[in-house]
Amino acid sequence: MSNSSKLLEKAIEQFASLPGIGRRTALKFVLHLLKKNADEVTAFAKSITDLKENIKECAVCHNIADGEICEICADKRRDADIICVVENIRDIMSIEATAQFKGLYHVLGGIISPMDGIGPADLNINTLIDRIMSTDVKEVIFALSATIEGDTTAYYIYKKIKDKENITVSTIAKGISIGNDLEFTDELTLGRSIVNRISFSG
């Protein structure tokens, strides 16, 4: 499909480069933006630029943040005695959408996968272990994908922290299908998995 405008084509290509966006949807977005006034389009573009230039990684949990510490870690109403370990930022968003968890998080940035050349040193595991060992954390919840790689990652961390006194290690209940990623799990199932978490025995 050819277009009469190179500017239009360039904009379509940019939108179509996003995950899950085809050329037809990209065209719909571009034509919609053309109907907006200049101030609205400028505000839209600025929000994307600001996101890229100013977003930070939380110094505590590795979540995305506007400052040095993310809003979740900075919230005094959260239960700092519980840390939920997740694979990525999308998993935090999925769990937060359930409104069932009031503790803190730690983003690993992936899971151990020798086949993909990803080892413990490639993830935010050392900062998690330091965080657990240097604070009064009472419980660590593994909310990792129900895969061999997810179980391997949980077991690796469990071995590192199991000897700490007065700590409970649990994993979300397996209401989540084996092999499924958290981001594709419905909120009700995910919420129940958090509430009905079980002891992690390694």
- How many residues are given for the chain? 202
pLDDT in tens, 6-39: 999 999 999 999 999 999 999 999 999 999 999 9
pTM of the model: 0.76
In sign, the C-alpha dihedral spanning 99, 100, 103, 106 is negative
Q: In the chain, at which residue ranges do the beta strands (DSSP E only) sit?
A: 56-57, 64-65, 79-86, 103-107, 139-142, 168-171, 198-199
Residue with tokens 């230039």: 53
Q: Where does the pLDDT of residue 200 fall: very low under 50, low under 70, confident under 90, or very high at 90 and above?
A: confident
Q: What percent of the chain has pLDDT over 70?
A: 90
Question: In whole angstroms, what separates CA 13 from the centre of its chain?
Answer: 27
Average of per-residue pLDDT across 144-161: 92
Structural domains in the chain, CATH included, are 6-53 (1.10.8.420), 70-171 (3.40.1360.10)
Whether the pLDDT of residue 176 is over 60: the answer is no
Whether the pLDDT of residue 3 is over 70: the answer is no
Per DSSP, the three-state class of 31 is helix
Cα separation, 152 vs 155, whole angstroms: 5
Average pLDDT, the chain: 90
Average of per-residue pLDDT across 111-137: 95
Contacts of 148 (CB under 8 A, 6+ apart): none
pLDDT in tens, 51-101: 999 999 999 999 999 999 999 999 999 999 999 999 999 999 999 998 999
Residue of 165, 161, 154 lying closest to 202 (CA atoms): 154
Residue 131 has phi, psi (to 5 degrees) of -65, -45
Whether the pLDDT of residue 183 is over 80: the answer is no
Distances (CA, A) of 100 to 180, 187, 195: 20, 10, 7
